[in-house]
Amino acid sequence: MQRSQLSKTKRLVVKVGTGTLTTPDGGFDRQNCARLGAELAHAARARPVVLVSSAAIAFGARELGLVRTKGKPWDMATKQACAAAGQPHLMRAWREALAPHGLQVAQVLLTADDLASRKRFLNARRTFSRLLELGVLPVVNENDTVAVEEIKVGDNDSLAGLVATCVEADLVVMLTDVDAMYDRDPREPGARALRDVPRITAEVERMAGGAGTERSTGGMITKVKAAKRLASQGTATALLSGRAPGALAALLAGEPVGTFFTPAVEQLSRRKGWLLSAAKGRGVLLVDDGARRALEQRGKSLLPSGVKAVAGHFRVGDPVDIAVRDGRPFARGLAGYGADEVRRIAGLKSGEIERALGYKYLDEVVHRNDLVLLEEEEAEARR
């Protein structure tokens, strides 16, 4: 999909950040929310729209009278309490913004663990599909009241990417506090807006810089990394100002607003897209250097002869990470055998599997059709 084709978007995910819904002092920006409600409703007349909305913690903090001290982050329990108090106010804000335009809303709360399970991922997909069929606009947020570090997505830029994979969106629009991505800090003289990014390179990531503000967990780098993962799945991403009237409509009309990240020509299958973006390995297969070269350079399957050791407990069909001696995963795939079975056949040739186990499912421990390579920085983040 190119910018000129955005009017043909079939399914749209819009992510709204905390700064777009709050005033500088942390209060609710009702006027901007109402404007966005009208623009989302207009977009929804032409295609289904899913909204990923931040600000529950900010709303809850204000309701509870809590003030965040710079340099002293809240503990997990305080954040969860704020999320619990703020989520009803966030939903009421969107209900009031969209109801005048004839749109109902539905709350969908997710954790990374929900989407890492293939079964729950597919259940979520069915729920989204039915809501959209009924003309309801889902409002998604991370379920912060129960999420702990090991099951958190961490930021709603990444959550928007996971939701896009789940609902099979062809465009994700991230509304932010700047009007585009720039080649440097936009406050610096000579900063240039990047209108179209055909490929996200290391240089583009360097330009994206660091983290977000005190009231939000994201930043430009989280948006760029989410856009990179989405591009590999054939999904386009755009960054727009969350405060510029008409920016969303202008983007969907193909106008040169914001920053547009072009999706890759070669795309992952839906299952591989899930493996890359949502799944988490339930165990680790340690392989030798030859197996790594076969997977990375020749697109081969993982055979038992290349497996040196097994960590963790997993069953047939579970996601597993694949790593070399340092334990850093470079690939993820669906296990063709359970953990105990792989331990018994590790190092053997495929023709020896039946003799070792008394039966044989496959020649491969992980078939190449069920395997995706991880980028180094993503693999490190998922350890």
- CB-based contact 61:26 (threshold 8 Å): yes
Does the annotation list 223 as a binding residue?
Answer: yes
- CB-based contact 259:288 (threshold 8 Å): no
Alpha-carbon span 82 to 64, nearest angstrom: 7
pLDDT, tens digit, 9 for 90 and up, residues 335-352:
999 999 999 999 999 999
Does the annotation list 301 as a binding residue?
Answer: no
Does the annotation list 217 as a binding residue?
Answer: yes
305 with 175, same domain: the answer is: no
**Count of domains for the chain:** 2
159 with 228, same domain: the answer is: yes
In order, the DSSP letters of 12-68 are: EEEEE-HHHHB-TTS-B-HHHHHHHHHHHHHHHTTS-EEEEE--HHHHHHHHHT--P
pLDDT, tens digit, 9 for 90 and up, residues 240-285:
999 999 999 999 999 999 999 999 877 777 778 888 877 788 899 9
323 with 368, same domain: the answer is: yes
Does the annotation list 201 as a binding residue?
Answer: no
168 with 291, same domain: the answer is: no
- Identify the domain boundary among 272, 307, 324: 272
pLDDT, tens digit, 9 for 90 and up, residues 17-48:
999 999 988 889 999 999 999 999 999 999 99
Does the annotation list 144 as a binding residue?
Answer: yes
pLDDT, tens digit, 9 for 90 and up, residues 312-339:
999 998 899 999 976 789 999 999 999 9
Print the domain residue range for 302.
Answer: 281-381
Q: Which of 2-11, 178-187, 202-211 has the highest mean pLDDT?
A: 2-11
107 with 40, same domain: the answer is: yes
Beta bridge partners of 50: 13
Does the annotation list 143 as a binding residue?
Answer: no
Does the annotation list 54 as a binding residue?
Answer: yes
138 with 25, same domain: the answer is: yes
Q: Is 26 exposed, middle or buried (0-12, 13-18, 19+ CB in 10 A)?
A: middle
Q: In this structure, what token pair is assigned to residue 187?
A: 């406050």
pLDDT of residue 152: 52
199 with 88, same domain: the answer is: yes
- CB-based contact 287:308 (threshold 8 Å): yes
Residue 69's SS3 state is strand
246 with 165, same domain: the answer is: yes
Does the annotation list 152 as a binding residue?
Answer: no
CATH number at residue 252: 3.40.1160.10
289 with 344, same domain: the answer is: yes
- Identify the domain boundary among 220, 240, 272: 272
- Identify the domain boundary among 228, 255, 272: 272
pLDDT of residue 381: 42
CATH number at residue 297: 2.30.130.10
pLDDT, tens digit, 9 for 90 and up, residues 67-118:
877 767 788 889 889 999 999 999 999 999 999 999 999 999 998 888 888 8
90 with 224, same domain: the answer is: yes
Does the annotation list 156 as a binding residue?
Answer: yes
For the ranges 69-83, 115-129, 167-181, 345-359, which has the lowest average pLDDT? 69-83
Note if the pTM is more than 0.85: no
Beta bridge partners of 239: 174, 259
- CB-based contact 71:160 (threshold 8 Å): no
